[in-house]
Amino acid sequence: RNPASLGLQARVRPLPILIATGSGYMGYDQYGRYKDRELESKGIEVPPRIANEAQVALYKTIPTRLLSRAWGRLNQVDLPTWLRKPIYSLYIWTFGVNMKEAAVEDLHQYRNLGEFFRRKLKPQARPVCDSHCVISPADGKILHFGRVKNCEVEQVKGVTYSLETFLGPHTWAESIALNRNEDDPTNFQDILVTKEGNALFHCVVYLAPGDYHCFHSPTDWRVAHRRHFPGSLMSVNPGVARWIKELFCHNERVVLSGEWAHGFFSLTAVGATNVGSIRIYFDKELRTNLPRYSKGSFNDFSYVSNNNQEGISMRKGEHLGEFNLG
């Protein structure tokens, strides 16, 4: 019974306790999900299981921004030519990428995975719909859509986040020079709706790892203001979006706001763990996923200046920006 073996025993003892509690918790959680599925199969609507504050705080302790930047650095390393095809083919097979639509189909042309991730499409691969005023800005999956009610936006059915937390205080109006309806607005949502008979709508598009990761202008509009919220880079896949309320308010994001034919219009690009950086082609100042930021902060930038009262005019379908690895 020498001290070394006592020390080892002391270290080893917590391990089985941790494993037992962890697996006990997992078992309890899985049983609950099984019960939910049972109820749903009987047609009973079950509210989504939302993470509690402790679980969200635990998740946020994971250094997702550091991991994201490390992932980005790794994917900037140029691969030897002979290794490119096997690596990219594995990525293509894993995430179901359709290389026939890519502007450059030859895998050897992509020096690293970061460049492969930023691949462009053949112009004719995505015809822009002429007969509708709003189009999808990107390839992806529709997570949720509909009218905004009571200043709450649904990230997925039944899980909401606050409109005001997501967009930040309404101080950009000066740069959009929105002529708001006269009567005094009662809440944040009313402030955004500038014309009688209008309502506020939202649509959430989730881009999976294998999707084309550039995004385009969803309509003819003029972009007057950019607000960059540094933040976490938690995963935004549909499973996590169903589990963490206010997920899009925790994550790093870039809010572009302006005006279209019917009044207020905004597009927000929300980063995620493996896709931490957001680029807006006409905004050379924007830097995202930087090592240091103060929690809850945001920085504003107006595209309306003395010699450009209009802001940035964007045509429907025009290249607007892209997500980058890391």
Partner 1 sequence: STIVLLFEAPKDFTFNLKAGQKIRYGEPLGTM
* Chain residues that interact with partner 1, rule: CB under 8 A: 126-129, 131-146, 148, 153, 156-157, 163, 166-167, 192-195, 197-207, 212-216, 218-219, 236, 241, 248, 260, 262-272, 275, 278, 317, 323
- Rounded alpha-carbon distances, angstroms, from residue 127 to 124, 179, 221, 318, 322: 6, 34, 19, 12, 19
Residue 148 CB burial class (10 angstroms; 0-12, 13-18, ≥19): middle
> In whole angstroms, how large is the CA radius of gyration of the chain?
23
Q: Please identify, using beta-carbon distances, which residue of 85 and 262 lies nearer to partner 1.
A: 262
- The span from the CA of 79 to the CA of 33, in Å, is 43
- Least Å from the CB of residue 153 to partner 1: 7
Q: Please identify, using beta-carbon distances, which residue of 79 and 283 lies nearer to partner 1.
A: 283
What residues contact 222, with CB distance under 8 A and at least 6 apart?
258, 259, 260, 310, 311, 312, 313, 314
Tell how strand 299-302 and strand 152-156 pair up.
unpaired
Tell me which residue of 189, 278, 172 sits closest to 223, measured CA to CA. 172
- Least Å from the CB of residue 1 to partner 1: 56
* Structure tokens that stand for 142 in this block: 């529709």
Q: Please identify, using beta-carbon distances, which residue of 49 and 195 lies nearer to partner 1.
A: 195
- The span from the CA of 247 to the CA of 234, in Å, is 8
Q: Please identify, using beta-carbon distances, which residue of 84 and 253 lies nearer to partner 1.
A: 253
- The span from the CA of 152 to the CA of 46, in Å, is 20
- Least Å from the CB of residue 17 to partner 1: 38
Q: Please identify, using beta-carbon distances, which residue of 46 and 148 lies nearer to partner 1.
A: 148
- The span from the CA of 151 to the CA of 198, in Å, is 15
Match 């293509």 to its residue by tokens. Answer: 92
- Least Å from the CB of residue 195 to partner 1: 7
Read off the DSSP letter of residue 249.
H
- The span from the CA of 29 to the CA of 23, in Å, is 10
Q: Please identify, using beta-carbon distances, which residue of 107 and 219 lies nearer to partner 1.
A: 219
Q: Please identify, using beta-carbon distances, which residue of 108 and 319 lies nearer to partner 1.
A: 319
- Least Å from the CB of residue 85 to partner 1: 26
Q: Please identify, using beta-carbon distances, which residue of 79 and 317 lies nearer to partner 1.
A: 317
Contact at 8 Å (CB) between 145 and 202?
yes
- Least Å from the CB of residue 215 to partner 1: 6
Q: Please identify, using beta-carbon distances, which residue of 6 and 103 lies nearer to partner 1.
A: 103
- Least Å from the CB of residue 251 to partner 1: 8
- Least Å from the CB of residue 5 to partner 1: 51
- Least Å from the CB of residue 243 to partner 1: 15
User: In whole angstroms, what separates CA 68 from the centre of its chain?
Assistant: 14
Contact at 8 Å (CB) between 246 and 165?
yes
